[in-house]
Structure formats: structure tokens, C-alpha cells
Structure 1
């Protein structure tokens, strides 16, 4: 089969992206489905895998945690009625028991398709049948762009931060998939949004998408601007995946009793302000992926047209390296997708 492979580990990932035409086609094992890929989407995880992660240190390898396609075959114990259905993947797998009817994000045995397990950037991929949803005849490009970032954002905001209509939310790094998904969910729920970016053009795009307030991150303490917007009160919730570079500003932007929820640390981790945390009774929550109940909830909103992903570019498979170059540049606004038809 054709597959986009990362040939070796390196800090710069895109030069190591090669499309291979003779990669072995996987087979569905017991409890699994074999999916013929129609679209796969890129995430920052595709860069982290190429730079080297524990348990993902053998190269060449296939990354990719977003995938949509039609079931081509099923393994033992899986109903054959799945064959021919268009399905969307939740890439989190409880590795010790792929037959589990649900994903448990806090399970120590949690693994990711596209990280420690072979990913979706290939003509075919396998997954536990319990990890896919039938999405009918929905657009596979839109679906692939939707899955991982919206599931991550849904768990962050709805399950972990317990976000409510009318609350004020700060979203850092607008332009990435998770940040844009958080913006869409906040608008759907009826929250006031403040977004940050280092780029004016991304802030303008965010305004067009309905962001209420925008703040330029110019490497200074922009929390003062956030507090000014909120009449010095601060925000109820901050959704962040940047980490160290903005951590103190995020804490300083929170109202008393506010919540910082994080799903990543692309700039690394660093010291935190314990005095502010205990004095202002702040909550700091971690969030990773989401379970199948959360996946069904958020995908249902997509299928009904209430939540839509923002797509930056769509590339044919032969342009895979260009797609990685775009992701690595940080100039994208929305999801980068590969088409496999």
C-alpha cells in the first residue's frame, strides 16, 4: 500500500517525509476493522513523533491520529455489517485490551494510533471496532479535520473545566486545531471569547470566525490586556496548549476561582506561581484525548452542522512533504489534510 513515512528521527521533520508505494498492508486482527483511508489530517503530534517520543523510536514509521474512510474488512468477532461504512476514528486505544467498549483517557495503558501504534497517513489503517463511529455519507475531509482537535477541546472545556454558557474564556495560540475547536465550542455554547496570537493576521481571521476579543502576544505580559477587557475581573476559564511561554500570563488572566485547562506544552513546561494559585483559589487541570461517550457527543454536533472545523489546506498524498512543511512553519490557520482518493 501507499504510506507517508517518517524515515528517521530529527528535530526538523519535513525533510524526512517520504511517500512509499510498497509498505505492507495491515490486516484486521480480532476486534478490529481495516479502513481504506479517504482523508487523514495532521496534528502537532506528527511533528513530535518525528522528533522522537518514548515508545515511538523505531523508524521508518507511519504517524497520523486523524483518519476517515470506509471499512474494507473486519477481524474476528466484529460484525460484517461494518464493511462498506464510512467511519471516523478516535485514536486513543487502551492497548492492553483493544476490545474494550470504551476508551479511558486516564488509563495508564492508553496508547495513540499514530504515536506508539501505526497511524492513519496510509492507504489503509486498522483500529479497534470500538474506536470508530459510522458517519454516513458525511464529507471525509471535513470529518478527518474534525475528530482529534474537537474531541480534545470538548473534553478540555466540557468535561474537565465544566464550562457554562455566559462564562468568559481565554484561548491561547489561535490558529492551531485545538484552539480553533475551542473557539467553535465556546461560540456554540454562548461564551465570551478572548483569543491570543503572535500574528495580527491570525487575530483578524479569528474575529471573522466570531472571537469577541483579540490580544496580540508580543512576548510581553498580555494578561493586563485580558484583565482590562474583563473590567479587571479576569476570565473564568483559560484553554492552553502552549505551555511555558504563556503559563504565567494565563494564570494572571484568571479570575478568582478560575480554571486553567491544558492539553499540551509545545513550548515546554516551567515554574508556576503557587502563591497566585492558592490565594486566588485557582484550578489547574490536565486533559488528554477523550472517551467514546465524549466522541459521540461532539461528532453528533458535527453531523448536525452545529460544529465545523477550519481547514487550512488540503493536499494530495504526493504533496505530503509540503503538508509537513506547512505544519512545521507554524503559518497554518486550521487543519492540514491529506486526501487519499
Structure 2
């Protein structure tokens, strides 16, 4: 991947107003690449945001480095430091501009290999990619469907949404504006519901839908099951990683983070700003309060109040978990002492 950007483009893209960026040093060339501080070469741009990387900053060969305001460091010769309020955010904003250039949205239109039902409604600003299928009475706004995307009957896809290759939106499901559905994700798969009758498992039809609000991201190969009744719902700004399972009738609040291989069982409610770390799981019919953090590899079997910070199986408060872990390290010596006392008593 190669590109070349002027300093003017960099200054305009980092989010802060150009006038508010504090410039120290001198570099007049173009930016030919982005790299970490330790790997950057002449012509590269990097950023510094944590004192853990102070040594990398001091030794970096990057030509341009985005740094926090108030940092006291002298640039090397032919090196330019750009001081901003939040280097990590500014770098992310810049990468967004670069992403638009490297991977531009295709021009509106319907690929000849796509299959669009006559009753489907497609915005003139939409792009329907190769081998995609739009079923009866579906509505697609000014969205981009990359390739091999399936939109089920009566489903709706909002404006400015991007659906990656082989993404699926099931029948009657509703995708909000500005969503980003990555490759292979399935929205509206059948909820997992069975009743035992006469020694057999009878499938419970799942006749509800999935609905996402605006600016929701769903990672690659993640699945969101349709509701048994009503809707499975993901609110505004929530970001779901790859390989995440969200079961039927789950309700997820605003601006939550669900990390890879986490899962939520049916009918649980996740309030706003909750973080589920990797491989964590929430049992069914629970409530997790706002601003809670579920640690990695944790299993939550009881509802949690707001601002909880838990870890472990079963999940307990983080403070208790680490106290128990520390004490458990002392158990071998404790048993040695117990055995010695027992032997002494037996001898007497």
C-alpha cells in the first residue's frame, strides 16, 4: 500500500483546526506512509500518546509525529512535531480521511449480476454490488452493498450504511443509518429456541426482527438473532467486534463495546456504555447496568448494578477476584504448614 500526502492534507485531516495545532521543528516533504514510532522511517508519520512509548518517541525516525500538547521534547533535524489535544483521536481522524482515499465507495448503481426483486425500493444513491440479492419489498437507502450481500424481504437498510461481502440482513429487519456491517455478519438469523415435547425438541418459530439504531458497527462473522416476538435491538453507537453472538430479544444500549467471542444469551438487557471483554458471556434474562465492565473470559450469571466491574467465573467484583487469586497462591505453603502441625500432633 503506497500513498503520498502533503503536510496541508495532514493538518486538515487530524481533526483540530489548523490554527490550533502547535508545530515544532521542520519538515517540508510529503508523507509516504504511516507507522509505529519504533518502525517509522524517513517520510513516515506516527503518533505518541502514552509515556510507555517515550523511549520509542525519542528514538523514532518518523518525519512527522503527532504528540500531545504540553510535551517537552526537541524534534530531530528534519522532523516535525504536531501538538494536539488528543493524538490518538487526531491520528484516527486522519486515518479516516486516508481510508476514504484508499478504499473509496463505489459510484451508485446496480451491478448487472445483482438480483433485485421488482417490488424492492432502491435509492438512486445506493450501490448494489456483484451477486447481491434484494428480495421482495425490501428498501435500501443510500447505502453500499459491496458484493454477495443478501437483503431479505421487507427489510430496510438506512442511508450511509456499508455492508461487506457476504453480509446478510434477514427478512423484516431494520438497519439504521451509518451502520457498518463487516464481511460475513448475519443480522436476523433464526433465534435459538426449542421446547421439549414427548422426548423431542420442537423448534419455536422466531417471528420477531432485529433493529439497529444509527452508527452501529457489527464485526465480521458476528450474528444477531431475530427475536421470538418483538425485536432484538442494538442502540446508537454500539460497536460489536468479530465473532460475537447476540441472541434473540437481547436489548443493547448506546455506545457499548462487545469484544471478540463474547456472547449474550436471550432476553438479557445491556444498558448504555457497557464493555464486554473478549470471550465473556452473559446468561439469559439478566440486566447489566450502565457503565459496567465485564472482564475477559468471564461468566455473568446474575444481574449487575450500574458501574459494576467484574471478572471471573462466576463473575465477581474485580477487587474480590484479585484478592482471592492472590490468596490462592499461598495455599500450597498453607497446606505444608497444616501437614506439619498435623504430624506434630500425631507424634504427641
If the length of structure 2 is used for normalisation, what is the TM-score?
0.25
Which one scores higher on RCO, CA 8 angstroms, separation ≥ 6? 1
Greater CA radius of gyration, 1 or 2? 2
If the length of structure 1 is used for normalisation, what is the TM-score?
0.26
